[in-house]
Homo-oligomer: A and B are copies of this chain.
Amino acid sequence: MKIGTYTIEDYIDLVQSFHGTAAPGILIGGFMVDLARQHLPEGILFDAICETRTCLPDAVQLLTPCTVGNGWLKVLGFGRFAICLYDKYEGDGVRVFLDPEKLKHWPEIHSWFFKLKPKKDQDSDALRDQIIKAGPGILSVERVHVDMTKLGKKGKGAIASCPSCGEAYPAKDGATCLACQGGSPYKSGS
């Protein structure tokens, strides 16, 4: 059994070095990416959507050419455990999601996914075993068409100097940059 071009063990090592821990969600994410790719036509250029911020974006970043920084992966904060890979020009794609209906035979995955046990009571070995045994068996696939206008994938446009902080920012954001418009997470330092 493989995830992408990796053995399960090598994938777990890779996840550990990038993500810090071999979190269950990224292991499942590996099967999700594989399943989605199997349903895409070969050789197309695809972009990715990840419907949760938790864990799953890292599986996409490790197993596809799509990253947050290159803009080919878009992370949407729906909190749904799903990814979509789609033709970057046409928008036709495949959505893969963890299907709650299919968790009935996998009690450790079910209780982890629905947070039915405190973390300290989880049996992480059993959870990992079930994830590997289940593989794509807990996932469902649907064909989708992505409305790219909803992804806000526009360039930065012209660059201006913010009269407030002095830094460069996208002129289209307004008279000052969005941080100076009240978005800054910083209290003034020394």
Contact = CB atoms under 8 A, between A and B. Distances in A.
Given A19-B69, A53-B71, A78 B169 contact: yes
Contact of A98 (B72, B146, B168, B188): B168
A166 B161 CA distance: 47
A54 B26 contact: no
A53 B76 CA distance: 13
A88 B95 CA distance: 35
Interface stretch (A5-13, A79-87, A125-133): A79-87
Nearest to A142: B189
Interface string A54-69: 1111110100010111
Contacts of A190: 143
Contact of A186 (B18, B114, B147, B187): B147
A118 interface: no
Interface of A: 18-21, 23, 26, 49, 51, 53-59, 61, 65, 67-72, 75-82, 84, 95, 97-101, 113-115, 142-148, 150-151, 156, 158-159, 161-162, 165-170, 173, 177-179, 183-190
Closest 6 CB pairs of A and B: A58-B69, A143-B189, A150-B185, A79-B170, A144-B186, A57-B69
